């Protein structure tokens, strides 16, 4: 699942996932609130990974991460913070909040594809 308020980032991420040539069903949400609503409606299946943008309006990535980690059904899903920020304070806050990893949004599809390979082995 990708949670990001930027449609261009959704297209970029989708293109990278499609390039992996593996069977991946990618869910999209444009906000933390929308993501939590989608996840709440899912019966027993939940995403294997959640890529979560740090900087979003209304509910930022850290707030969304906190809500997910408080939910019994969601707390064990690996959450990868996915942000343009490379600030050490953002990385530390994300990891302290329970993120599994922190990925700075790359500028090229090939870099993103190579980065995603570690998660979709």
Q: Which domains does the chain have, with CATH numbers?
A: 2-117 (3.40.50.2300)
The alpha helices in 1-121, defined as continuous H runs, are 7-19, 32-41, 61-70, 88-96, 109-117
Query: Mind listing the pLDDT tens digit for each residue in 20-39?
Result: 888 888 999 999 999 999 99
* Residue 42 half-sphere exposure toward CB, CA atoms < 13 A: 15
Count of Cβ atoms closer than 10 Å to residue 22 Cβ: 11
According to DSSP, residue 49 is labeled -
Q: How confident is the model at residue 121 (pLDDT cuts 50, 70, 90)?
A: low
Average pLDDT over residues 29-51: 92
**C-alpha distance from residue 120 to each of 18, 36, 48, 86, 111 (Å):** 12, 23, 9, 23, 15
Query: Mind listing the pLDDT tens digit for each residue in 60-106?
Result: 999 999 999 999 999 999 999 999 999 999 999 999 999 999 999 99
Residue 81 has a pLDDT of 97
């Amino acid at each position: 699942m990708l949670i990001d308020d930027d449609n261009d980032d959704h297209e970029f991420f989708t293109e990278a996932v499609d390039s992996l040539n593996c069977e991946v069903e990618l869910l999209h949400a444009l906000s933390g609130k929308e993501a939590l609503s989608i996840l709440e409606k899912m019966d027993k299946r939940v995403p294997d990974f959640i890529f979560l943008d740090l900087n979003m309006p209304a509910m930022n990535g850290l707030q969304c991460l906190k809500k997910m980690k408080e939910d019994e059904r969601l707390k064990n899903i690996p959450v990868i913070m996915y942000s343009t920020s490379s600030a050490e304070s953002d990385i530390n806050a994300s990891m302290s909040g329970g993120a599994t990893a922190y990925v700075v949004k790359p500028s090229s599809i090939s870099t993103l594809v190579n980065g995603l390979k570690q998660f979709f082995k």
